[in-house]
Amino acid sequence: MDNKTLQNLIVNQMSSGVNLRPLAGFKMDFSANPEFQKVFFAASCECGTSALLSLEVSIHKSDYEINNALPSLIEKLQNQEKSFRSMNCTMHGMMRKGFIEDKDE
């Protein structure tokens, strides 16, 4: 199963009200474990801050196994999304400022 298919499956089965955008994979993922395929999603807040969320699926899993595992994968993703939402925008702003400062150095 390729990343796009997996992302589409996840997006289609996510509960409404969860607002995640599938992202293309990153080529420069140095920590990537070759045994896992990684899919990325972005959660964004109206204040303009986005968080990167990711899921890992073993490449040894068949499509059938992935389908069976989907509910728990989606739950993980929704928990990540929830913790981003539970931060207020002051905290989001600090996150963003932190990123910008890191970049400037």
| Residue 81 interacts with Zn ion (CB under 5 A): yes or no | no
| Residue 77 interacts with Zn ion (CB under 5 A): yes or no | no
Alpha carbon distance 62, 18 (integer Å)? 27
Chosen residue from 6, 43, 45, 74 binding Zn ion by CB under 5 A: 45
Of 51, 58, 66, whose CA–CA distance to 21 is shortest? 51
Which window, 9-17, 58-66, 67-75, 86-94, contacts Zn ion (CB under 5 A)? 86-94
Of the pair 4, 82, the CB lying nearest Zn ion is at 82
CA 97 distance to own-chain centroid? 21
- In a 13 Å sphere around the CA of 65, the CA atoms on its Cβ side amount to 6
Question: Where on the chain is the footprint of Zn ion (CB under 5 A)?
Answer: 45, 47, 89, 92
